[in-house]
Amino acid sequence: MTTPLECEHEKALLRDWARGNRASGEELLRLMLPGIYGLCFRILGRDADARDAAQETFTRMCAEIRKGTEIRDVKKWAATVAMNRSIDMKRVRGREVELEPELAPAAEEADPVDRIDAEHLRTWMAKLPERYRVVLHHHFYLDMKPQEIAEVMGLEDGTARVLLHRAIAALRKAAGQGH
């Protein structure tokens, strides 16, 4: 979970970078790149494409900083730009965004999601529709709450909650079948 201190640290790095401190920009990039790359990879599915989208996200951030744009929440801003850029790249390259499938109710036994380690989480998430992968990445890797996910994905709060619930149900189903 991102703490208020972590958010303040990111904001301070962003302010210092805007004032020309290159080291602060590099530190911000080091902190944020793994999560942003992961989000891009989950949408695009290819390393080279994910690298391009992540790089373009940080290039855009740099340009916005130079213009003097105020970025209030660095994590949300970067996640929104990365997600939109990845979806645009996917569409341009002719790969359509998958629609959500109808899901069967999750089993009533012990919650398989509680037993998931990082390696299995990645494996099972890769089998889910794109929209589920994106919302789960925001939730598990970027530590966003449904309200933040709604803002980043351009959804209503309730829609983001339902989408997250369905994505976790699909993950439970995949995890239950994987054991």
Closest CA to 44 of 133, 106, 115: 133
Tokens of residue 148, six digits: 């933040």
Mean pLDDT value across residues 40-46: 87
Residue with tokens 């109808």: 102
What does the pLDDT read at residue 113? Answer: 53
Given 42, 61, 92, which residue is the final one in a domain? 92
Pair (17, 67) in one structural domain:
yes
Pair (80, 146) in one structural domain:
no
The answer as to whether 61 is a domain residue is yes
Mean pLDDT value across residues 37-48: 88
| Number of domains composing the chain | 2
What is the spatial distance between Cα 158 and Cα 72, in angstroms, rounded to a whole number? 24
Using one digit for the tens of pLDDT, what is the confidence trace for 135-172? 988 888 787 888 888 888 888 888 888 898 898 888 88
Q: Which domain holds residue 45?
A: 4-92
Q: Taking the complete model, does pTM exceed 0.75, yes or no?
A: no
The answer as to whether 72 is a domain residue is yes
The answer as to whether 38 is a domain residue is yes
What does the pLDDT read at residue 60? Answer: 87
Pair (77, 156) in one structural domain:
no
User: pLDDT: is 102 or 41 the higher one?
Assistant: 41
